[in-house]
Homo-oligomer: A and B are copies of this chain.
Amino acid sequence: MMKIAVDAMGGDYAPKTVVEGVERARDEFSDTEYLLFGDEKQINGLLKNKDRITVVHSSEVIGMNDEPVKAVRKKKDSSLVMAAQAVKSGEADALFSCGNTGALLAAGLLIVGRIKGIPRPGLLSTLPMVSGTSGSFNLLDSGANADSKPEHLYQYALLGKYYAENVRGIQNPRIGLLNNGTEPHKGSKLTLEAHNLIEADKSLNFVGNVEARDLMNDVCDVVVADGFTGNAVLKAIEGTASAVMHLLKDSIMNSGISGKLGALMLKSTFKDIKGRMDQSQYGGAVLLGAKSPVVKAHGASDAKTVYFTLKQIRTMVDGRMVEDFTKYWEDLSAKKAAESDSDTPQK
């Protein structure tokens, strides 16, 4: 039975929506158990029943404005740090929070720990497509690191491949490198070098450079980016989708009787679009490269989003994503080490 460590105090509506989402996931997935870290009294007051749920009291909370690394180091009795420790000790298989993103990343790196040889785990986000059949694409690093090296981008390509295969069930996922042009000779120093590294690994189905304007049009399944650009693109997509929908709403409100009547007739259409643009159905953002799944749902998550994210975590643990990647990476590293040994001229 897998066990998920939950920071029950993280998020704008915690612990209420977290507890509700956990109970829904618990009821649906009989192979899951939950460790809920937080204010025992509050949590117990919210729980309908304690089947496969253990509440562990924590006396502190890391707030949205706490300085991440400092908070993780100092607030040992916080719900987040205690949940991370449970993953580190092997008591739980994965870590989940809707709280402070920076603090969760810090807890993932400093407490849960990194896979050997992956110095900079990256944050993977899932975004909607408007064409194609798979409905969404993954973007990583979407913001864990502000400065990246070519080898980090290569590692994101591999990590993204394992996520797409083991969690989303996409065979041989298409990997694209976010760039300022599709031609192979285009790019910054970083993307030019990363392009060569990714292209050289024949285990990857690399489709080459992709541009930010095409991501929603099914150009690839996994988009590799440095964390600064990935973060900017993620936010530009979110901001623009929201801005256009607001503009539509405003225009309708100012369009008189006929426009309002038209909007009424299109109600289900607008709902359909909102549903397709809604990211919560894909779960949360995943810190790939950590020793266990570390997953963040957004601060304003409702119970449904918490449920979807726990479902995603269950697939990650069940699909043995981290184990499979680690095995592949260890074998690859051993092979490279052997090659470099045999390359050394004999004396």
| A contact set with B: CB distance below 8 Å | 130, 143, 146-147, 178, 180, 186-189, 191, 211-217, 225, 227-229, 231-248, 250-252, 255, 258-259, 261-266, 268-269, 272-273, 276-277
Docked Cα-Cα span, A166 to B195, in Å, equals 41
Q: Which of B213, B246, B277 is the one whose CB lies under 8 Å from A130?
A: B246
Contact check, A259 vs B268: say whether CB atoms are below 8 A apart: yes
Find the residue from A189, A213, A236, A258 having the highest chain B CB count within 10 A. A236
The answer to whether A236 and B248 touch (CB under 8 A), given A229-B229, A265-B258, is no
Contact check, A180 vs B231: say whether CB atoms are below 8 A apart: yes
Contact check, B273 vs A248: say whether CB atoms are below 8 A apart: yes
Copies of this chain per assembly? 2
Contact check, B233 vs A212: say whether CB atoms are below 8 A apart: yes
Contact check, A212 vs B188: say whether CB atoms are below 8 A apart: no
Contact check, B188 vs A147: say whether CB atoms are below 8 A apart: yes
Q: Which of B147, B188, B248, B251 is the one whose CB lies under 8 Å from A146?
A: B188
Chain B residues whose CB sits within 8 angstroms of the CB of A251 once the complex forms: 269, 272-273
- Cβ of A287 to closest chain B Cβ, rounded Å: 16
29 cross-chain CB contacts under 8 A: A146-B186, A146-B187, A146-B188, A146-B191, A147-B189, A178-B232, A180-B231, A191-B228, A212-B233, A212-B235, A213-B235, A213-B236, A213-B238, A213-B239, A215-B239, A217-B243, A233-B233, A236-B240, A237-B239, A240-B240, A240-B244, A244-B273, A247-B276, A248-B248, A248-B273, A252-B269, A255-B268, A255-B269, A259-B269
The answer to whether A265 and B269 touch (CB under 8 A), given A232-B229, A241-B244, is no
Chain B residues whose CB sits within 8 angstroms of the CB of A269 once the complex forms: 248, 251-252, 255, 259, 262
Docked Cα-Cα span, A217 to B250, in Å, equals 14
Contact check, B276 vs A265: say whether CB atoms are below 8 A apart: no
Chain B residues whose CB sits within 8 angstroms of the CB of A212 once the complex forms: 231-236, 239
Chain B residues whose CB sits within 8 angstroms of the CB of A243 once the complex forms: 130, 216-217
The answer to whether A180 and B146 touch (CB under 8 A), given A216-B243, A247-B130, is yes
Q: Which of B234, B236, B273 is the one whose CB lies under 8 Å from A237?
A: B236
Chain B residues whose CB sits within 8 angstroms of the CB of A216 once the complex forms: 239-240, 243
- Cβ of A229 to closest chain B Cβ, rounded Å: 5
Chain B residues whose CB sits within 8 angstroms of the CB of A227 once the complex forms: 180
Q: What 8 A-B pairs come out closest when comparing CB atoms? A: A262-B265, A213-B239, A236-B236, A240-B240, A213-B235, A212-B235, A262-B266, A212-B236
